[in-house]
Chains A and B, each alone.
Chain A
């Protein structure tokens, strides 16, 4: 009886702590963004690409474009790859090999992103440089690094999505004379589609939020569009300009606004993901 009451209070306090901390973050970002947009407007910073915070130019368009390009490209690169791995892990490997396979992928999920960035710096950047004659730093390298980073998560989630398809559907299809391939395309993947889309959205969220691995290979310059040119994303520019615009300086609130935009994008993705789950 007594222990129940204590547990009850502990769980309530944990929840309260969570709400307070989360609310604190949200309030700071929203308040800073409000300060920023009151002065510079809500839309005009998004539509302009002229960025020079020290002279009062806060165009974020190239960072938003950078974020979207890196994310979309990474997901396009990684989707067929993940789908292939998940079909392998869920339908082709037998018995305990399935378990080993998931364990193998989990190892790559747990690698910190700085290692992916390091790998990008030592393998992808020189590789792209040799292949294209560019500096090697840029959107393409960043997309490849992010693609590789989200591959294991995306694959494991897709694998679980495919495993959720009831074996009775598979038996029904195979029992009619359909081959395993036909069953995969006509029964398994369509049935798993909502959960596969959820997996993709989680991968997109991870790609959009990734900072350090992208920063290591994207080059940090901006202004020249193109996959092979150095660029910046919302997250990398936030990181770059933190020391430049400490609290109290004139342009500081643009950082809050950038964080706010990221939160907004994430909220859209999470909202879509929850709708898929229904």
Chain B
């Protein structure tokens, strides 16, 4: 199941992953791999377990009480579900961007510098460089240079989301998790974020949860279709959209879905 670029070692590997909230299963027996530098789009109807899947990858899932996770997840060198794994280092390596832009109520500079400061970087020169580099990577630098001391809430929604991406990039992750990053944005801002994601692709492995099928088609290399906690089908994006193997996938992609 699933096809990936065999030349690259898989950067994310998920084996027999199941998740329960209380007694009800949210994910059942998920197996998939994502190669380094690729974008995996996770699609499926609401409540299919997409967000749960994303939150397993950086262990944000365990912040909910009464959740049980079984299986194996490997991201780079991290055995994610091992109880001895250093969650702080894992989350540093696996950045996350949320559906609603959530900049902290502080300046633009302090937002981006937050992660590096948490990890003990104090040197102002180094912080300035990291902030500038991250904002450039997130294609926000030109819009905010000279305004870094302004509050992050002075930015537009799309700019705030790019700020959140810059904030995630500032701690130098290898993987980015994007939970419907454009769902709350206007079309122009959303297009900019998409463009940014494509630009970042070669440097980061990304998993994006999206409700927007066109978006998945435009930016991803691989698509995984989830339904009711199961991975129905996964394949490279072109194949999935032109010739899905499963009937359910086809129905979902063509909108003939109950």
Contact = CB atoms under 8 A, between A and B. Distances in A.
A133 interface: no
Contact of A176 (B100, B103, B106, B118): B118
Given A169-B105, A172-B102, A177 B88 contact: yes
Contacts of A182: 118
Instruction: Give the 3 A-B CB pairs with smallest separation, nearest first.
Output: A168-B102, A177-B91, A177-B92
A187 B118 contact: no
A176 B114 CA distance: 9
A171 B168 CA distance: 12
B102 A94 contact: no
B171 A177 contact: yes
Contacts of B96: 171, 175
Interface of B: 58, 60, 63, 65, 87-92, 95-96, 98, 100, 102-106, 114-115, 118-119, 164, 167-168, 171
A95 interface: yes
Given A171-B60, A171-B102, A172-B104, A177 B114 contact: no
A90 to B, nearest CB: 15
Contacts, number: 64
Contact of B114 (A94, A171, A186, A191): A186
A92 interface: no
Contacts of B98: 168, 171-172, 175
Contact of A175 (B65, B95, B105, B119): B95
A9 B88 CA distance: 62
B91 A174 contact: yes
A82 B145 CA distance: 42
Interface in A144-202: 166, 168-169, 171-179, 182, 186-187, 190-191
Contact of B60 (A175, A179, A187, A190): A175
A195 B257 CA distance: 48
Contacts of B100: 168
B102 A176 contact: no
